[in-house]
Chains A and B, each alone.
Chain A
Amino acid sequence: MANFITGIVCPAGVSNPTIMTTKSEGTGPYVLQSEVSGSSYTLRARKDYTWGPKFPGQPQGTLPSQLVATVVTDENAAANLMLTRAADVSAFQTSNASRVDGQKGFTATVQPVFLTYLIYNEAPGHPTASQAVRKAIAQAIDRAALNSAQTNGKGTLMTSLGTPGSTCTGPDPQTLIPATNTSAASKVLKGMSFKIIGSEILNNGQGQTYLQAALDNAGANASLTNLDNESWVDDLNSGKNDWDLTIQIETNGVGSFFTATPSFLGPVPPAGHNSGNVNNAPALAQYKKASETLGTTQCQAWLQMQADLLSGNDILPLSTAPNTLVFDSHVTGLGVGGYFQPGTFRIR
């Protein structure tokens, strides 16, 4: 079975791609028993399964013989199903998590699934092409307040560009993140106009709404267009450059140090993903070096790239956006990168 994050396809799928839509193949702990496309999937445990990863902290218990995964797009409905014990396991990104988390009979784990950054459009003609303006914008923002808006405070303020928990650490990059200073920001931003676009995927785009309010509060005139996630991605990758500011949302699934780096360095759209048109040659050189080396050398290159980007005010790390993974009391399991690992599910 293909893994949607890594793109790894089993040998049977490589030799005959058509089987990937018609039958269950691969080496996972479960095989597909039946499906209603886009609605529900029933998986049966392999009786002979003895291989696979040994996850640290694997809970004890009985491996479920069957998993029934139902697609429930409305988190209100998912919370209702959990509260009425019609579902055993569910993940939440919205405030619906609080309806279940903390209730008697449920255990919850909060894990970062997205990393968020403020991206400035540095293409010629945009007010954000000026470093002084970019710094002032960063000063106009209270990152904690923005976190409250876009994750209901469930996220963690990011102290670097990297994935939280990364083994590659160095000098505290927070010293390069401008502190909130509205009066200093106002001196630069007063009377300026900015166009913000963003995705509604996190809390219906409340992070962007906060950003607009913060800029208005600093004397600027900010307009906001919140789009569905797909349209937002299209716009960023179109190369139209019809925006000045956006909150970049990157998945944290793979767990590498800088999963988001191509989104703010390298080729610009439509050829690449550097939608902010960042042209930071020292940072790009370090990125290339990190891509070609390993170990300490690679780590040093990552950290220098980070310092170059932050000191150039090319990017502002904001906060993580978590998934809350909730289990009913008789079930347990693990999540990695904010996603369930169904092979770790156990019945207590």
Chain B
Amino acid sequence: VIQSVSAPGAASVKEARSRRAWHDHPWLKFLARRSLGILITLVILVVVTFFIVHLVPGDPARNVVGVNASGQEVARMRQQLGLDDPLSVQFGDYIWGLLRGNLGTSFTQHVAVSVIIGQRLPFTALLAACSLIVALGLGIPAGILAAAIDRRVSWFRGVFVAITSFGGALPEYVVGTGLVFIFGLTFKVLPTGEANGPTSIILPALAVGLGPAAVFARIVRNEVASIWTEEYMVVARAKRLPSRILYLRHILPNVVTSTLTLGGLLLVSLLGGTVIAENIFAWPGLGTEIVQAIEDSDYPTIQAVILMLGVLATAVNLIVDVALGLLDPRSLLGAR
């Protein structure tokens, strides 16, 4: 019995193919590219943030020693904070600190910035996550429902588009103020601020999430309307499958891909919305911290908070891309 026949050099061709297959694996290529992209993004973020904070008006040293301090005291504080060093030296110190995991010490609070981040990041992450739940939890069902009604009621589309356009255009501070007025001050059913108990998150999450929910609803409605005319849907409908099966088995999974892509982008924009909402609701997250830090020209805190928000945003994008890759491997090809 001849088990195998090998032409001269065949083994090395196999190995080469195997090696090429290993290198050509779409996931590896995808992850390598994304990692490189994240690295470049973070480097740009670090460099730009460092130089931008130095454009913030006001002298941090003056802020630390107080308005009545003498010029000599201000100069002494500038030296102590390292602000009289050339910008290149300050930048070098900052990068060296980052490489060692040292985000610096807050000029005004006199504690390690990592401590401040550690205390505040969980609140911002919680708010962003709850806001995304609001955006997806309301937006997807509303979009699917709207598509269903749309086919039966001719005038509904115009009303739906008007409402969702209006809702999507409302800024967080308008939505937040309205929610406070209705649910906090008028009916007194929900707390208007601070992080005291699970109900405290409801109004801030709605303030951040309702606008994106409206945008989501519109996009999902359009997606569903487009899927409805696909051949596989025509076949499914011809089989007279129940609506539940039509929507849950055939429509929802096909809506998820586009929704997830948008969800990633929206979560990044939600992080911006949290900054505003946190200040409206006195929510003790990074948003209130960065506003105060900018007012105080607290360079290390500003730099660290922006870096953290940037890391959060890139991490979310990565997770979304990975999830998309798992759900729809064609997206990996698109990432090439």
Residue from A39, A83, A270 having most chain B Cβ neighbours under 10 A: A39
Contact, CB under 8 Å: B193 / A38: no
The one of B57, B115, B281 in contact with A37, judged by C-beta atoms closer than 8 angstroms, is: B115
Report the count of interface residues on A (CB-CB < 8 A).
33
A270 to B296, CA, bound (A): 21
Whether a CB of chain B sits under 8 angstroms from the CB of A157 is no
Residues of A at the B interface (CB closer than 8 Å) are 21, 36-40, 70-74, 76-78, 80-81, 83-84, 86, 227-231, 233-234, 237, 262, 269-273
Contact, CB under 8 Å: B192 / A80: yes
Contacts A72-B282, A73-B279 given: A230-B59 contact, CB under 8 Å? yes
Contacts A40-B284, A70-B194 given: A83-B185 contact, CB under 8 Å? yes
A158 to B194, CA, bound (A): 38
Contact, CB under 8 Å: A37 / B111: yes
Contact, CB under 8 Å: A86 / B193: yes
Counting contact residues on chain B (CB < 8 A from A), the size range is 35 or more
The one of A36, A77, A229 in contact with B192, judged by C-beta atoms closer than 8 angstroms, is: A77
What's the minimum C-beta distance from B181 to chain A, rounded to whole angstroms?
9
Contacts A38-B289, A39-B288, A230-B59 given: A77-B70 contact, CB under 8 Å? no
Task: Report the nearest A residue to B297, measured CB to CB.
Answer: A230
A83 to B184, CA, bound (A): 9
Task: Report the nearest A residue to B188, measured CB to CB.
Answer: A84
Interface residues of B in 18-65 (CB under 8 A from A): 57-59, 62-63
Residues of B within 8 A of A76 (CB): 177, 280
A36 to B122, CA, bound (A): 13
Residues of B at the A interface (CB closer than 8 Å) are 57-59, 62-63, 67-68, 70-71, 74, 106, 108-111, 115-116, 119-120, 177, 180, 184-185, 188, 191-194, 196, 279-282, 284, 288-289, 291-292, 295-297
Contacts A80-B192, A233-B67 given: A38-B109 contact, CB under 8 Å? yes
A269 to B59, CA, bound (A): 15
Contact, CB under 8 Å: A39 / B284: yes
A81 to B119, CA, bound (A): 22
Contact, CB under 8 Å: A74 / B70: no
Task: Report the nearest A residue to B120, measured CB to CB.
Answer: A39
Contact, CB under 8 Å: B291 / A230: no
Contacts A37-B111, A74-B282, A237-B71 given: A81-B295 contact, CB under 8 Å? no
Contact, CB under 8 Å: A21 / B63: no
Residues of A within 8 A of B280 (CB): 74, 76-77
A30 to B151, CA, bound (A): 67
Residues of A within 8 A of B288 (CB): 39, 73
Extra contacts, 4 of them, besides A39-B284, A231-B57 (Cβ < 8 A), are A81-B192, A83-B192, A230-B59, A237-B71
A36 to B70, CA, bound (A): 31
Residues of A within 8 A of B196 (CB): 86
Residues of B within 8 A of A78 (CB): 282
Residues of B within 8 A of A230 (CB): 57-59, 62-63, 295-297
Contact, CB under 8 Å: A81 / B193: yes
A76 to B180, CA, bound (A): 11
A37 to B107, CA, bound (A): 12
Residues of B within 8 A of A273 (CB): 68
What's the minimum C-beta distance from A105 to chain B, rounded to whole angstroms?
13
The one of A36, A84, A272 in contact with B119, judged by C-beta atoms closer than 8 angstroms, is: A36
The one of A71, A73, A84, A237 in contact with B62, judged by C-beta atoms closer than 8 angstroms, is: A237
Contact, CB under 8 Å: B192 / A234: no
What's the minimum C-beta distance from A216 to chain B, rounded to whole angstroms?
26
What's the minimum C-beta distance from A54 to chain B, rounded to whole angstroms?
30
What's the minimum C-beta distance from B22 to chain A, rounded to whole angstroms?
49
Residues of B within 8 A of A84 (CB): 184-185, 188, 191-192
Contact, CB under 8 Å: A73 / B292: yes
A21 to B109, CA, bound (A): 9
Contacts A39-B120, A74-B280, A74-B282 given: A86-B62 contact, CB under 8 Å? no
Contact, CB under 8 Å: B59 / A234: yes
